[in-house]
Structure 1
Amino acid sequence: MFAFLRLALVAFVLLTIAYGIVSLWSRQMRRRKLRKEWEAEGRPGDRRDYVEKGLDEYDDSFRRKLILLIYIVPVLVVAFIVYAVNFM
């Protein structure tokens, strides 16, 4: 039982690190895209306001929520492997 809890803790820490990296990377890519859109649209208003408004919309987007699959998919894969090894 102790070995399983240690595995779960290590997996949670690694998945949290992966989530943080992917989340920051995705937000940075969105910021870069918004800056390019601002220049392509003829620079309407202040760039900082335009980017912040776009990032606020990004925070509520479905794409942002998909990053949570980093926690769900590995757990499902391990559960399937355990099931397959023991019951198939």
Structure 2
Amino acid sequence: MAFIKLAIFGFIAMTVVYWSISIYARSVRKERLENAFDADNPGSTDRVAREAYIEQGMQKYNTSIRPKLIGLVYVVPVLAIAIIAYLINMN
């Protein structure tokens, strides 16, 4: 029963960490895109072009490997616990 509680609360904790990292990474990427547009177009007041540039950059980000690597938040702890349990029970 204790293992089931550990699994449930561990999954909840990993989900919170996953969403926190995901939101943070997206906000950092969006801010970099905003700064890049502002640096390339100083004094530009064209909001439509700015939003299109940011949207295109975010679509490229979504298809890249970086957001998928955040999923390792689920994989690494499970593997670590499995390896530790195996090594402890091996003896």
Structure 1 residues 8-23: aligned runs within 5 Å? 8-23=7-22
Q: Tell me, in whole angstroms, the C-alpha distance in 2 between the residues paired with 1:52 and 1:5.
A: 42
Q: Deviations over 1:37-78 (max 9, x none)?
A: 101222586111111111111111101110000000000000
Structure 1 residues 73-84: aligned runs within 5 Å? 73-84=76-87
Matched-pair identity in %: 37
Query: Which residue is 1:28 aligned to?
Result: 27
Q: Tell me, in whole angstroms, the C-alpha distance in 1 between the residues paired with 2:13 and 2:50.
A: 36
Deviant stretches of 4+, over 3 Å: none
What CA RMSD, in Å, does the superposition of the two structures yield over aligned residues?
Answer: 1.5
TM-score normalised to structure 1 length: 0.92
Query: Which residue is 1:4 aligned to?
Result: 3
Q: Which moved more, 1:56-65 or 1:43-52?
A: 43-52
Unaligned runs of 5+ in 1: none
TM-score normalised to structure 2 length: 0.89
Count, aligned residues = 87
Q: Tell me, in whole angstroms, the C-alpha distance in 2 between the residues paired with 1:40 and 1:65.
A: 29
Unaligned runs of 5+ in 2: none
